[in-house]
Chains A and B, each alone.
Chain A
């Protein structure tokens, strides 16, 4: 840590991890309801757990992104953060708003919540990921404005690096792309069409810029590779992202009521969307191969190398699998989508957040790297989480394929519920894999409680012996 004010990142990272754990608890609840439909009913109906799971995901990722930005921007700009106090205040506002949202879902029936929070004045509620009541949505905008003000002022007074421009620019994009959440036309087709501005715009556009910037920063710091090289790679990767991803949004427009030309446009452009992810893999391997130093934080390097690989598999391979219109015709809205959504979200955005936390947390706690025994806990967590997530994705892929052949691409389609019954075995395995994932997360969290720092002399001696 080079600047005192970078330490505001710490509460963001800690809260992100706590909310991550909360997300997983709701995932396990839903996973269990998939095999026993009466579990926790009617106390926590499936849709309530679903809202908590996906909203906690978004909140903890945003927490991690914000923490990362408060950490990176001052260091890149070579100056203190414009206002650490504001950053801390923003943290509490965001955390309380997030907690209030989840409690609202759990304690108040959704329609009552909608009425009590003025949804009839400006309807915004009832769309995936954007279920938050109106006052919370306004709060999110205020938090984003505070973040952007703070970062932009810091950027303005300090050194201007391309990486900082990409990161701060992408955070502006993130905030702007949230605004369609306030636009919810009565016309269902227009509503779906514009909902994807937020969802696709984030995960297959803007957030990839954040992903690139965070990885770029970690590689500059950990490998000592020249920043000119890193930044050139970044520009090319994010250029590919937007040149394929903007029209690639068409893969969500095939069957929601939009005109048929999206079938062609969406298929062609979204089929190219894996390219930037592949380039990210190549970038990571190049940086690793050209490294000028051995960084003692092996765990952070594992996360940083793992992120592009799992992101490529989840977004690139699983995304490609379902993206062509003839495939999407049968796969649309099945558990294949969930398989892709899980592996992609985890591989890209959860893992890059954990990579950043892994790199920065030891520094925030006053050491370059944790002790080897702490790192071993962390790497155990890495493998358990990654392998469990692959198992989850594979079981959901199996379930999705069964749906395709028994309910969709057949002359004698069976009813939805009958087909779900035949997929029980997959849902069972998914729940066990979810428990494996939870064990991995706990092992990861355990690593923070192992005391001591990296012992250079001892480890050098051991390496020489």
Chain B
């Protein structure tokens, strides 16, 4: 019987040790990231309007069509920098004017928001456009 140089229990120990080691490193890095995030995204500037706007964006599933910071679906324009691309007045007029009904063109639903709610969404989009995302997206078109 040939001597087993590399046994199953050695393989198992590499698995457990390796996974444990990198998990600890990840937790340390996550702790550091957590400390840095509030400065990078201006967490202090999250006013009640911004928070309400975010809640509306989540509970209306905007990310089911749009990307936000590149996450979501790829059917509609990036919303991370839409505030800078279009400006508040455009967005305030855009949302209630949906859907366009242009034949064949992709449609955005009509959401029954109040003026205040639309203002909250715009406040959130403005906050979002100021998050330090390491210079992403590459340009204003998102």
Contact = CB atoms under 8 A, between A and B. Distances in A.
A249 B26 CA distance: 9
A139 interface: no
A235 interface: yes
Interface residues of A, number: 76
Nearest to A416: B77
Interface in B17-44: 18-19, 21-23, 25-26, 29-30, 32-34, 36-38, 40-41, 43
Given A111-B59, A239-B15, A332-B136, A189 B131 contact: yes
A329 B138 contact: yes
Interface string B101-120: 10111110111000000000
Nearest to B108: A45
Interface residues of B, number: 73
Contacts of B15: 235-236, 238-239, 242
Given A46-B73, A235-B14, A247-B26, A188 B133 contact: no
B59 A114 contact: yes
Contact of A51 (B30, B34, B61, B109): B61
Q: Interface residues of A: mostly helix, strand, loop or mixed? A: helix
Contacts, number: 215
B140 interface: yes
Contacts of A50: 64-65, 73, 75
A228 B62 CA distance: 50
Given A249-B26, A409-B138, A257 B60 contact: no
A110 B65 CA distance: 13
Interface string A317-339: 00000000000011011110110
A41 B63 contact: no
Contacts of B107: 37-38, 41-42, 45
Nearest to B141: A413
A342 interface: no
A408 interface: yes
B58 A127 contact: yes
Given A239-B18, A414-B141, A417-B106, 4 more contacts: A38-B101, A239-B11, A242-B23, A415-B77
5 contacts: A110-B64, A126-B57, A126-B59, A255-B136, A257-B131
Interface of B: 6-8, 11-12, 14-15, 18-19, 21-23, 25-26, 29-30, 32-34, 36-38, 40-41, 43, 46, 51, 54-65, 67-78, 99, 101, 103-107, 109-111, 128, 131-134, 136-142
